[in-house]
Structure 1
Amino acid sequence: MPVIVTIEIPGGTQEQYEETTRLLVAAEWFPPAGFIAHAAGPDESGGWRVVDFWESEDDFRAFMEKGRSIFEREGSRTVVPTVTEAVNVMVRPEPK
Structure 2
Amino acid sequence: MAVIVTVEIPGGTREQYEEVMRQFEGVDWFPADGLVAHAAGPDGDGGWKVVDFWDSEEQFLAFVERARPIMERAGISSMLPTVQQAVNVILR
Aligned position for 1:8 = 8
Counterpart secondary structure, 2:80:
coil
RMSD: 1.0
Instruction: Tell me which stretches of 4 or more aligned residues in structure 1 moved more than 2 Å.
Output: none
Where structure 1 has 5 or more consecutive residues not aligned to the other structure, the ranges are: none
Where structure 2 has 5 or more consecutive residues not aligned to the other structure, the ranges are: none
% identity of equivalent residues? 60
Counterpart secondary structure, 1:32:
coil
Q: For this pair of structures, how many residues does the alignment match?
A: 92
What does the per-residue CA deviation read over 1:13-58, in whole Å, with 9 as the maximum and x for residues that have no partner?
A: 1111111111123211112110100000011212111001100000
AA in 1 matched with 2:43: D
Aligned position for 1:41 = 41
Q: CA deviation at 1:87?
A: 0.4
Structure of higher CA gyration radius = 1
The TM-score normalised by the length of structure 1 is 0.90
Aligned position for 2:29 = 29
Aligned position for 2:20 = 20
